Amino acid sequence: MILMILFSSTDIKAQKGSPPVEGSLRLVNGTSCAGRAEVFLQGDWRTVCDFLRVVNGAGFCSGRVQVKTNQSWISVCEDDFDWLDAEVACRELGCGTPLVLQRGLYGEAEGLIGSVEFQCNGNEDLLQKCDIVVRKNKPCSSGKAVGLTCSGPDDVRLVGGGSRCAGRVEWNQQRDGIVWSVGPKYMWNNVAGVVCRQLGCGSTVKTLLGEITEGFYFLCDGSEPALRECVGNHVEPMFLPSLKVICSDLLLQPDIYVSVSIDEGHQDPSKVFRGHSFTISCSTQPQYPGGSFFLMFSNSNTTLIQTQPAVNHSADFLFPAADHSHQGNYSCIYEIYVFSHNFSSESKLLPLTITTSPVTVTAVMRLVVLLMFVTANIATYLYLKITKKQSQVEGVNLEVISLKPRAKARLREESAAQETE
């Protein structure tokens, strides 16, 4: 795809007569203000074309890294792309700094895996300006396609609304300026939708007109990934009403955690001991006063909801005695009515397991051991006692047996004596 660029006539005049320097741009085969764009790289004028993109991400600043070679898009291998390369890629994409660089982050490559290695210094503005090495004998599996996440571009922001997703739209191009609303209301909504999308704030909930002030105007069709992609006056400020935008993802994500009433040592935070009291707390960052917290509970049998007003941006839900019915998944939902709309945000899921206290288990085990010890002692005593009685009986029997020959001998002697007389 050939990139067509429009310049002001003063920009073109400034290029005439100047020797080409690395990264210089020119227009060919067109008029004085339009044509095919070429960039001067490594001693040659080269056509500027789509070379870098990210796919399968949440926006134009995240996704699997792909480059275009021979009219085909190929995914870049993890081994060929480091943090310096990522800095250049984020810059070329018009995004902020690189946040995450990880293989498989945005799925496996569906097509070709490139054999192109980038060797950037980190200060280049295009990947094509980096040293590039073509690898021919180093295979790369589809699971090693590199994924990149850059921070969002910082050329637009919302201020004065109590949240990064609400307030007056400000555009920063070398200096701060207000973004105006121009044309009918659907055009404001188009601009607002692009702003919310660029900031990662969801969709537009409401647009408002502010005070008349100096600023810039944009005309968007609503599909652009960033405000700078819209047409309009981005350079010379004028005086028009400012634009205020409320986006759907107004609220920060609330926090949820569990605590117990007594010290149970190094207890697993996802477990509570049966019979012990516990508290589930919900809290959020101070953005707006008031609001309510909903504690959502669900397991295989039940779904329950409890509600409490937010006091100092938090709420506590007390459970006096844990039992098996409290085992399940909990989450907090913070809800508040601001800007004539209801907004809500849900915490991450907190799985909770009700288990037996190790103190109780230890006590039971000790009792069992004690009973076994007592039983063993009683058994030993009875055994010894029975054995002793048996020994005594056997001794008497032996004595009786030993007396019988003596008695017989005595009888014989007495009989012999009587016969002699």
Q: How many residues does the structure list for the chain? A: 421
pLDDT at residue 289, rounded to an integer: 94
Cβ pair 332, 256 in contact under 8 A: yes
Tokens encoding 113? 């895996």
Tokens encoding 177? 């300026």
pLDDT at residue 10, rounded to an integer: 33
Tokens encoding 161? 């609304």
pLDDT at residue 173, rounded to an integer: 59
The three-point CA angle 89-90-92 to 5° equals 65
Q: Which domains does the chain have, with CATH numbers?
A: 1-49 (no CATH), 53-150 (3.10.250.10), 156-247 (3.10.250.10), 255-358 (2.60.40.10)
State the greatest distance between any 2 C-alpha atoms of the chain, in Å, as a whole number: 173
Cβ pair 250, 166 in contact under 8 A: yes
DSSP H or E segment with residue 94? none
Tokens encoding 79? 């081994």
Give the CA radius of gyration of the chain: 42
Q: Which residues in the chain show pLDDT less than 50?
A: 1-18, 29-31, 34, 36, 41-42, 47, 49, 175, 266
Name, in order, each residue with C-beta under 8 angstroms of 401's C-beta and a sequence gap of 6 or more: none
Name, in order, each residue with C-beta under 8 angstroms of 154's C-beta and a sequence gap of 6 or more: 96, 172
d(CA 161, CA 170): 12
d(CA 102, CA 146): 6
Cβ pair 278, 372 in contact under 8 A: no
